[in-house]
Amino acid sequence: MTTFVDRVELHVAAGNGGHGCASVHREKFKPLGGPDGGNGGRGGDVILTVDQSVTTLLDYHHSPHRKATNGKPGEGGNRSGKDGTDLVLPVPDGTVVLDKAGNVLADLVGHGTSYVAAQGGRGGLGNAALASARRKAPGFALLGVPGDLQDIVLELKTVADVALVGYPSAGKSSLISVLSAAKPKIADYPFTTLVPNLGVVTAGSTVYTIADVPGLIPGASQGKGLGLEFLRHVERCSVLVHVLDTATLESERDPVSDLDVIEEELRQYKTSLADRPRIVVLNKIDVPDGKDLAEMVRPELEARGYRVFEVSAVAHAGLRELSFALAELVAGARAAKPKEEATRIVIRPKAVDDAGFTVTQEEDGLFRVRGEKPERWVRQTDFTNDEAVGYLADRLNRLGVEDRLLKAGARSGDGVAIGPEENAVVFDWEPSMSAGAEMLGRRGEDHRFEAPRPAAQRRRDKDAERDESQREYDDFEPF
């Protein structure tokens, strides 16, 4: 049964905003007491938060679909809807959030670090909030905005100071078990370790974490064995420790060639690992042949510039010297690390000529409007209510959309789309006039939609002309 998962694809959905309410206050002797529709509640966000008690992404492997709650709709009597509850998803320290294309969205390191993976939808305004001097009793309310839908990938990269790398059965798990209080599975067959193990080591005044990476073999960086699954766990380490088996029973292997193979796999996986300090550990010197082989290869390894330690995890030999040498390197890496500064708040004011939207004409003649405000306003409009549609037209006009369309060459009756291609509202554009109270009729109506519209009239004329031609053809009698 799978107990450790370090990569999952997660489908998150934020909550939808609640719809606003269109209501009129009524009481005895006061049948039209004014609008009192409340606002809809905000939809809940989906938030990823680092939790030190979580060590695996297993929960999301079994349940990859997560959704926050929706906001409640507003009600009469100026009662606003309840906001949706944020969905907080705990993730391990060192989790990287990526999109489907592999782009990094967030790198979550440190307890409490958070990232909003999906933003909840904004609640719609009720007609009480929409009332103004020109529109005293709106007969409509705004709809809630749908929450974000995101497909993201979570990758866990272990946050450790020291990473133990080496061939399967080189003794990495045994070494971490005697250096720390970690109790990994240990057996005398390859690939015993199927998950990275993490332990805490205290050497003098220095406390550091150490992780063993499941056995690497030639071709691990291309996906052979378990290497590709776990090589990402060495990326954050400060020190690399090569654990070399001096008592291997395979005649074609020796510590020097093992070191060359693992170094090549690390280089192919991530060239940035080349600058990490290395230590070589010649393990299993408790075996007579192992001790002899260690003494034989040690000069060659030291000639390459490595610090070499001969140890035995079984006999607990050489462990103190190794532990303090690692503590020294870790302390040096921490001291060399740039000090973290408080996050600077960068204010980027909007340019004077930035209208917040764009108008482009496509090859088929369609004019497309893109922008955060126009697209949100369209999603909030109830197109079954003429007054709501008129209110949208007024907002777009005040924003300058109609002026931009005119400058772009749009004429009455041309097609206009607001929003992305896959989810746009398309309509025949008719230049509108500003609406005053005198333009509004009964609640839910807008007199501007009763006036003749040139595009609609042209279509009716074409239909009538086609029908007339068809009748003449049907009445035609050959000689």
CB atoms inside a 10 Å sphere around CB 52: 11
State mean pLDDT over 282-308: 89
Going by C-alpha positions, the residue among 154, 148, 335, 178 that lies closest to residue 243 is 178
Pairing of strands 162-165, 239-245: parallel
Tell me which DSSP letter residue 479 carries: -
Q: What is the pLDDT of residue 437?
A: 43
- Could you give the angle at the alpha carbon of 380 between the alpha carbons of 38 and 405, nearest 5°? 140
Residue type, 420: P
Tell me which DSSP letter residue 25 carries: -
Close Cβ partners of 260 (under 8 Å, ≥ 6 residues apart) = none
Confidence of residue 225 (pLDDT cuts 50, 70, 90): very low
State mean pLDDT over 425-447: 62
Joined tokens for residue 378 = 């369209």
How far is the C-alpha of 38 from the C-alpha of 20, rounded, in Å?
6
- Could you give the angle at the alpha carbon of 84 between the alpha carbons of 78 and 90, nearest 5°? 160
Q: What is the pLDDT of residue 2?
A: 46
Q: What is the pLDDT of residues 465-479, one digit of tens each?
A: 777 776 766 665 554
Confidence of residue 444 (pLDDT cuts 50, 70, 90): low
Where do runs of H (alpha helix) occur along 64-218? 127-130, 172-179
How far is residue 438 from each of residues 15, 135, 386, 447, measured CA to CA in Å?
39, 10, 15, 9
27: phi then psi, degrees, rounded to nearest 5: -155, 170
Helix, strand, coil percentages (3-state) for the chain, rounded to 5, are 30, 20, 50
CB atoms inside a 10 Å sphere around CB 223: 10
Going by C-alpha positions, the residue among 256, 251, 241 that lies closest to residue 299 is 256
Q: What is the pLDDT of residue 91?
A: 93
How far is the C-alpha of 204 from the C-alpha of 206, rounded, in Å?
6
CB atoms inside a 10 Å sphere around CB 332: 13
Close Cβ partners of 293 (under 8 Å, ≥ 6 residues apart) = 246, 247, 254, 255, 282
Tell me which DSSP letter residue 76 carries: T
How far is the C-alpha of 323 from the C-alpha of 204, rounded, in Å?
9
Checking if the pLDDT of 461 tops 50, the result is: yes
Close Cβ partners of 243 (under 8 Å, ≥ 6 residues apart) = 164, 165, 166, 170, 171, 172, 175, 281, 283
Joined tokens for residue 174 = 């045994």
Q: Which residue has the tokens 């340019």?
A: 351
SS3 396: helix
State mean pLDDT over 180-191: 53
Q: What is the pLDDT of residue 223?
A: 46
Q: What is the mean pLDDT of the chain?
A: 82
Higher pLDDT, 434 or 100: 100
CB atoms inside a 10 Å sphere around CB 415: 16
- Could you give the angle at the alpha carbon of 218 between the alpha carbons of 213 and 221, nearest 5°? 65
Range with top average pLDDT, 112-121, 150-159, 236-245, 406-415: 112-121
- Helices 172-179, 319-336: axis angle to 10 degrees equals 80
- How many residues are recorded in the chain? 479
Q: What is the pLDDT of residues 16-43, one digit of tens each?
A: 999 999 998 888 777 777 899 999 999 9
33: phi then psi, degrees, rounded to nearest 5: -90, 10
Going by C-alpha positions, the residue among 182, 174, 172 that lies closest to residue 216 is 172
Q: What is the pLDDT of residue 341?
A: 64
Joined tokens for residue 416 = 């206009």
Burial class (CB in 10 A: 0-12, 13-18, 19+), 281: buried
Going by C-alpha positions, the residue among 279, 111, 53 that lies closest to residue 179 is 279
